[in-house]
Amino acid sequence: MRIAGEIVIAKAPQAVFPWIAEPEKAMRWQKNVKGGEIITSTPGMVGTTFKETMEEDGRALEMRGEITQYAENRAIAFHLESRIHRVDVTYSLEGCEGQTKAGVRADIRWKFPMNVVSLFLGKRMERELAAQVAGELRDLKAMCESE
């Protein structure tokens, strides 16, 4: 399943990037992320590992992740694993005239038994996740532009 979205933010990429790359800022607009910690930190950020706790409908889900791409003020990508899925997420930023087009692309691969559930509820799950991403991007925009 692939989920994608983009939004234009009235700030330069160097003002937007920290809101994506710094966990304490990212948790403010990614409402389901309730906590996290760096496990290993690497020079240049690629290879840095971490874990984070997601919460939805009162249920917690621990995810382990690794930064797979890092280009300051341009892009950051993560590989995440949980007991129910594997996710590859890429955030990209393109700046022009004091504005930034922020994009996100998530490739989600469900593990058993969620892969079976997705056969029946896949379209609904996809719509809900797309709406969540759109809402998060709107929150990111609001926070960046109010700073």
Split at pLDDT 50, 70, 90, the class of 90 is very high
Split at pLDDT 50, 70, 90, the class of 147 is confident
- Count CA atoms within 13 Å of residue 121 on its CB side: 9
Split at pLDDT 50, 70, 90, the class of 57 is confident
Domains, the chain, with CATH or none: 2-146 (3.30.530.20)
Torsion over CA: 30, 19, 103, 143 (sign) = positive
Whether this prediction's pTM lies above 0.75 is answered by: yes
Mean pLDDT for the chain overall? 96
